Amino acid sequence: MKHFFNRRENIVTEALDGLLQTSPAGSLARLDTYPDIKVILRADWDKSKVAVISGGGAGHEPSHAGFVGKGMLTAAVSGEIFASPSVDAVLTAIRAVAGPKGCLLIVKNYTGDRLNFGLAAEKARAEGFAVEMVIVADDIALPEITQPRGVAGTLFVHKIAGHFAEAGEDLKTVAFHAAAAAREIVSLGVSLSSVSIPGQAFEDRLGSNEGELGLGIHGEPGAERIAIQEVGAIIDKMAERLAPALTASADHALLINNLGAVPPLEMGVIANAVLASSLSKRVKLIVGPAPMMTALNMNGFSLSLIRLDPVREAALSSVVAVHAWVPPVTRHKPEIVAAPAAPAASRETARASHDRQVDALLRAVCERLVSLEEELNRLDARVGDGDTGSTVATGARSILSRIDTLPLADPAATMAAIGDILSTSMGGSSGVLLSIFFTSTGKAMSEGQDVRKALLAGLDRMTFYGGAKVGDRTMVDALAPALNSLASAGPTAAAAAAGAGAESTKSMRKARAGRASYVGESNLDGVADPGAVAVANVFQVVAGLA
């Protein structure tokens, strides 16, 4: 797989610098120990409260540096991609932010993190710092192991510890709430792809119809492979695993975490499925969906839940000044607002009426367009997708089938009715454009304009919305000169102008609108635009009946 980076050895340092430069001024800082020791800390930190430190390998962005700020982490220590930071890095962070009240280390349950943070804690204590450490082991994918992994549920611990630290509580109290939270978090992940690490060869261990359930956040294999299926079925399987680990009859907070590569559209579908599943009745607060603890570009997501009580709910809901935390929302049903009714005038259908001349003209025009179906399709097959004739004929047949219901004695209402028919029956962009044309023409006529000026008003609206003008190789090349000639010289001149306009499109080697704009010049040369040909035929019929 492809990645955006300069040199692999600089990727983490450059990414953190990018974060620093795009965060609000005065919010974040880094220690001057780059590149060997990478510590991001609060720029406003004065050591008057308990410091909260977390970290781990890179590749989980926005964790951990994205959660540094007032109300959450005081500092984040980063290693290289999927590699624990060194003992020296953690110890340096402790020295930088721990004050008289001491500091709490929040560590995910991986051997490297436990050992490096643990040894740093012991060294810091030997130097006189008050240090406590909480280990998060929230993953339930492998229930038989004695040391479950720490995954996205760690963010609940960040938030709760940060809340009590910001409130001025002592280290013992902050550590107590953090440890209690860590014991009551459960998480489970699923993915449809393996992880691709920048600068390393990518090998997808999954088949085209396979996913993995119960995976970690470092690209390690899942607990089991599953067949790709509807997301609702995947959620049901996850709910079946998570439910036994939840506290019965208790409210929970739910974190819906994007593991890195799931598009927002699909995350919305996932969230909807989770909140329609059996887990929903256990959920009171929802965090996400959002990428919060990723696994680089893993195409998957994880669900984390924590039992709520009033104190914990307040801690999770308190306002923070970090860019990556998504404030929780209370589970609720979507609000549905009644759509406004159409104005009475729009709802009323003009009564059918008869006019012999209008009836004859409409029938003749529609029959001509139906007869051109094959010819227009042939032209469009050379410059577009080959369906102009069928699209036009469909609209014409719809008008013919309803001609006895039209208010033919009322020209303005007839124009509006044709616009309505074409908007629902003709399809494609041409159907919408012609609907705009007839609807706008009918409106102009109802406001007192004569038919010729009203037709020009309809053309103006159609070209405004459609964007085409004379010379762009569309129906406008025939329609615009025809309507201008109709207004000044009558139907015969209009027919001649439409014919000349359609003929001119044969020499236009570049289309600037419509599907023909995607076609090469050699395919357009000598071929008339089918929409313009249809317009020219309409004006021939009009002139013949005038």
Instruction: Count other Cβ atoms within 10 Å, centred on residue 411.
Output: 18
Q: Which of 64, 218, 332, 354 is labelled catalytic?
A: 218
- Encode 452-496 in three state secondary structure: HHHHHHHHHHHHHHHCCCCCCCCCHHHHHHHHHHHHHHCHHHHHH
- The DSSP annotation for 33-75 comes to TTTTSEEEEETT--S-S-EEEEEEEESSTTTTGGGBSBTSBSE
Distance between CA atoms of residues 65 and 327, nearest Å: 17
Give the position of tokens 């007032």.
70
Instruction: Count other Cβ atoms within 10 Å, centred on residue 114.
Output: 17
Distance between CA atoms of residues 149 and 163, nearest Å: 24
Does the CA dihedral 357-361-367-371 come out positive or negative?
positive
Among 305, 228, 301, 229, which residue's Cα sits nearest to residue 267? 301
Instruction: Please say if 177 is a catalytic residue.
Output: no
Distance between CA atoms of residues 63 and 155, nearest Å: 9
Q: Which helix (H) or strand (E) holds 367?
A: helix 356-371
Residue 433: what are its φ and ψ, rounded to 5°? -60, -45
| 184: CB partners within 8 A, 6+ apart | 247, 306, 307
Instruction: Count other Cβ atoms within 10 Å, centred on residue 370.
Output: 16
Residue 80: what are its φ and ψ, rounded to 5°? -75, 180
Cite the active site residues: 218
